[in-house]
Amino acid sequence: MSFRRIVFPLDVATAADARVLAARVAPAVGVLKIGLELFVAEGPSVLSLGLEHDRPVFLDLKLHDIPETVERAVASAAAHGVRYLTVHASGGPEMLKRAALRAERESGGRTTILAVTVLTSMSDEDLHATGVSDAAKEQVVRLARLAWDNGVRGFVCSPLEVETLRQALGPDAMLVVPGVRPAGAATGDQKRVATPAATIRAGADLLVIGRPIRDAADPPAAAASIAEEIASALLAAGVSAKEQA
């Protein structure tokens, strides 16, 4: 079912607002994402929205700290049943290795660490301002290889790097992609974007799509339309409807 490839961010300020939004949209998407704003405001209790709607939770905290601190945070997230958890690939080999090992040990493989490569809000010029001389695509591959070599098998990248990462890492890598916008939608603060169909054709596994669904007049219908676009792209790539289900 193609809708399961849609990750919907609950980017609101309170649990009450998140509960209303989740009730409306969860049946039309595959994963509920909880980010910094909501998690800081409400704490771990908000993670129960996944159980309430029978949807896996993607906890998007982009952890980046000393290895011991990140490892302990990963253990806590796994204990709460989080399905996906982000860390920054730029945190280094030891941090990545300990995060991946701890997630596996605490969850029995149910929690997947996703290494964030280069934020989709960053252009090449933004990256250069931080002291990285290469273009975003090269930096994404460099950081992804670092994470892969240290046991991480899930990655966050923009649509523009999906094909390159799929070729570099092979079919076992899970590629989770924000910055996805239906044709004609506003890009907002995202700088490296593409349509759902193009991103799926490039080799993405999960698409993070927020505002085009949340701000639509009919959010469930908007999600259903995106799911149909994903299904068509998968069929064109040779993935049958039976395999999609």
**pLDDT score, position 187:** 52
Q: What is the CATH number for 159? A: 3.20.20.70
* 243 within domain boundaries: no
Query: Average pLDDT over the chain, rounded to whole?
Result: 92
- Top-confidence residue, 119 or 150: 150
Average pLDDT rounded to a whole number, residues 126-142: 93
What is the tens place of the pLDDT at every residue in 82-119?
999 999 999 999 999 999 999 999 999 999 999 999 98
The domain total for the chain is: 1
Q: So which residues are the catalytic ones?
A: 62
pLDDT of residue 185: 55
Q: What is the pLDDT of residue 121?
A: 85
The residues with which 165 forms a beta bridge, in sequence order, are none
**pLDDT reported for residue 18:** 97
Residues in contact with 50: Cβ distance below 8 Å, sequence separation at least 6, in sequence order: 32, 56, 57, 81, 83
Domain contains 28? yes
Which helix (H) or strand (E) segment holds residue 59: the answer is strand 57-63
- 245 inside domain: no
| Domain span holding position 227 | 2-238
Burial 8-23 (b: 16+ CB within 10 A, else e): bbbbbeebeebbebbe
Arithmetic mean of pLDDT, 121-138:
92
- Residue scoring higher pLDDT (194 or 22): 22
Q: Is residue 216 part of a domain?
A: yes
The average pLDDT across 191-206 equals 87
Candidates 33, 45, 38, 110; CA nearest to 78 is 110
Q: What was the pLDDT predicted at 20? A: 96
Position 46 scores a pLDDT of: 97
User: How much is the pLDDT for 59?
Assistant: 98
Position 244 in a domain: no
Does residue 109 lie within any of the structural domains? Answer: yes
Q: Going by DSSP bridges, is the β-strand pair 84-88/31-35 parallel, antiparallel, or unpaired?
A: unpaired
Residue 67 lies in a domain: yes
The predicted pLDDT at position 235 comes to: 83
- Is there a domain that residue 175 lies in? yes
